[in-house]
Amino acid sequence: MTTPPESTEDHHQPGRYEICIKGLLDNRWSNWFEGFTITRESNGETRLTGQVTDQAALHGLLRKVRDLGLPLISVNRIESHQADESDVKP
């Protein structure tokens, strides 16, 4: 019998996430994505970035992506120092 790996993160804590999808969404979708920042990339992808209260809320956001019919590329939790660096505009 194997033991599940121990996690140092509490998955019920809020966190900042970045969700990348294939396809371009315009800003009118920001209300539907509950205040997430929508960034359209030149490669035809859209990046959604924002705060998620817990895993249930994250799954709700992923259901919305599924409902749009757009392919999901990645879901990443952003550490606080990464979020600070990405907010800096050159």
Identify which of 24, 17, 64, 62 has the alpha carbon closest to the alpha carbon of residue 40: 24
Going through 1-90 in order, the beta strands assigned E by DSSP cover 15-22, 37-40, 45-52, 72-78
Q: Which residues of 30-55 are buried (b: 16+ CB within 10 A; e: fewer)?
A: eeebeebebeeeeeebbbbbbebeee
CA distance 8 to 26: 37
Is 80 exceeded by the pLDDT of residue 80?
no
- The pTM of the whole model exceeds 0.85: no
Instruction: Delineate the domains of the chain, giving CATH numbers in brackets.
Output: 15-78 (3.30.70)
pLDDT tens per residue across span 28-69: 888 888 779 999 999 999 999 999 999 999 999 999 999 989
